[in-house]
Amino acid sequence: MEATDIPVDKAVRMYIKVRETKRELAQRFKEEEEALNEDLDKLDAIIQQHLVNSGSKSGTTMDGHQFYRQERRRYTTSDWVALNKVIMEHEVPDLLEKRIHQGNMKQFLEDNPDILPAGLRCDSQYTVTVRRSKK
């Protein structure tokens, strides 16, 4: 399909229809996924309880399937000032994920046009926003 083959009015109507179909599909998927996640949570609890009761960290079924229990930790903070102070005092910036806050970086560059960090790249693209008529 060539862009020039379709009038813009028709393209917008088609865009809205495809977007709505995509939303409906995503909603159905979400509902089905939630049901499956509930099943997985129940089965996870059964396997966890088996490992706790047996005092084991892992096991193997008669079919040869392996299962094991491991601890995962996730760290969060309610006091960023204190955490930033520790990071600066101990020079451990690797405690943070290497990710740039997009809005803050945009504002920083606008406020400081003469400062450009080495290695900084900016990928930019235009997007289309389509809004349904209020009719």
Angle, alpha carbons 72-73-76 (nearest 5°):
150
Distance of CA 38 to the CA centre of its chain: 20
Under the banding of pLDDT at 50, 70 and 90, the label for residue 3 is low
Token code pair at residue 115? 């400062």
Q: What is the pLDDT of residue 84?
A: 95
Q: What is the CA radius of gyration of the chain?
A: 26
Average pLDDT over residues 27-47: 97
Q: Has residue 120 got a pLDDT over 90? A: yes
Q: What is the pLDDT of residue 1?
A: 60
Distance CA 97, CA 84 (A): 13
Q: What is the pLDDT of residue 134?
A: 85
Percentage of the chain exceeding pLDDT 70: 98
Q: What is the pLDDT of residue 2?
A: 66
Q: Has residue 135 got a pLDDT over 90? A: no
Q: What is the pLDDT of residue 8?
A: 93
Residues ≥6 apart with Cβ < 8 Å to 2: none
